[in-house]
Amino acid sequence: MELTHPAIKAFMCGSFSGTCSTLLFQPLDLIKTRLQTLQSGMQPGSGRVGMVSVLLSVVRTEKLLGLWKGVSPSFARTIPGVGIYFSTYYSIKQHFFPDGSPGAVEAVMLGGGARMVAGVVMLPVTVIKTRFECGRYSYASVVGALRSVCQTEGPAALFSGLMATLLRDVPFSGIYVMFYSQAKASLPKEISSSPSAPLANFSCGILAGILASLITQPADVVKTHVQVKPQLRTAEAVRYIYMEQGLQGFFRGAVPRSLRRTLMASMAWTVYEQMMAHMGLKS
């Protein structure tokens, strides 16, 4: 396959956009993971432990760079993962929708299908990334962590939380692509073809990201617990969260996750579309 193949270009554009967004927003992901894995004994009854408390705690105990703990596995997951997502998305779209205009339902299937492929392929690195961020494991490197998990827990542990991950990522991407594509389609043509088009697209992405993040937040909390405590099954994690924290526990970390996922997705799609347009390809 030639390096000029459109799918290869989509992979490169996606990987670059993923690199930029991961570097910028990793602190939000770390704060989200810490919030979701707080022990019940550490939580005040009023639930006032929030983003600012966790942020200050991390900076105080792990210095400013501690906010980027887990950035190595984040890069290892996001750079190829976003590339796989966008190249799969582009290939499926070109095959089934050569005119480039899928409807709302088709957009859900398109985004969800692309995310399913990327999610399954990159799940082992996602597990390691979650463990780096939670602060309970002392891995020296991504490769060392992969080796340690395989030796002590077995290779199956690298696919812990598969169901919860798919229940989170597939709907998120499907819902995101649906809202994003519909919002873009509703923009006046004079805006879509103007120099301010990237800003308009970014705004559409913000709206789509907020809605998709809130809908899929409970699955993200369950996924985090299963990957940090691989002895838990998905159903057991749901029961554990409910018994320990009640219904509000399923929305712990919603603010930093919504901020991160929304900004990352908006930035990734904006950079991806601009790079594809620069290469003369329709995204």
Q: What confidence tens digit (pLDDT) does each residue in 249-275 have?
A: 899 888 888 888 888 888 889 888 888
Structure tokens, 259: 């901020």
What pLDDT digit, counting tens, does each position of 155-170 carry?
A: 998 998 888 889 888 9
The percentage of the chain sitting over the pLDDT mark of 90, rounded to a whole number, equals 27
Tell me what the mean pLDDT of segment 230-247 comes to: 88
Q: How many CA atoms lie within 13 A of 53 on its CB side?
A: 11
Phi-psi region of 75 (alpha: psi -120 to 50; beta: other; left: phi over 0): alpha
What pLDDT digit, counting tens, does each position of 47-61 carry?
A: 456 788 888 988 999
pLDDT given at position 122: 92
The CA distance from 129 to 145, in Å, is 10
Give yes or no for a contact between 142 and 125, defined as CB atoms under 8 angstroms apart: yes
At residue 1 the predicted structure's pLDDT band, cuts being 50, 70 and 90, is: very low
Give the least confident one: 2-11, 36-45, 136-145, 179-188.
Answer: 36-45
DSSP state of 67: G
Q: How many CA atoms lie within 13 A of 193 on its CB side?
A: 3
Q: How far is CA 55 from CA 70, 134, 138, 209, 217, in A?
A: 15, 13, 20, 23, 20
The CA distance from 37 to 35, in Å, is 6
Tell how far CA 197 is from the center of its chain.
Answer: 24
At residue 43 the predicted structure's pLDDT band, cuts being 50, 70 and 90, is: very low
Tell me what the mean pLDDT of segment 197-210 comes to: 90
What pLDDT digit, counting tens, does each position of 95-145 carry?
A: 888 876 788 899 999 999 999 999 999 999 888 888 888 777 878 788 888
Largest CA distance in the chain: 59
Which one, of 223, 277, 278, 261, lies nearest residue 18 by Cα?
Answer: 261
Greater pLDDT, 113 or 35: 113
SS3 state at 121: helix
Structure tokens, 183: 């919002």
Class for the domain spanning 6-278: mainly alpha
pLDDT given at position 178: 93
Give yes or no for a contact between 60 and 36, defined as CB atoms under 8 angstroms apart: no
Give yes or no for a contact between 176 and 212, defined as CB atoms under 8 angstroms apart: yes
Which one, of 31, 37, 27, lies nearest residue 223 by Cα?
Answer: 37
pTM for the structure as a whole: 0.76
211: CB partners within 8 A, 6+ apart:
175, 179
pLDDT given at position 115: 94
276: CB partners within 8 A, 6+ apart:
9, 10, 13, 282, 283
Q: How far is CA 102 from CA 90, 105, 107, in A?
A: 12, 8, 6
Tell how far CA 21 is from the center of its chain.
Answer: 11
Which one, of 2, 19, 153, 155, lies nearest residue 78 by Cα?
Answer: 19
Residue type, 142: V
The percentage of the chain sitting over the pLDDT mark of 70, rounded to a whole number, equals 94
Structure tokens, 265: 């997705």
Q: Tell me how far apart the terminal alpha carbons of the chain are, to the nearest angstrom.
A: 20
190: CB partners within 8 A, 6+ apart:
none
At residue 39 the predicted structure's pLDDT band, cuts being 50, 70 and 90, is: low
Mean pLDDT, the chain, rounded, equals: 85
Residue written as tokens 């879509």?
Answer: 192
pLDDT given at position 36: 83
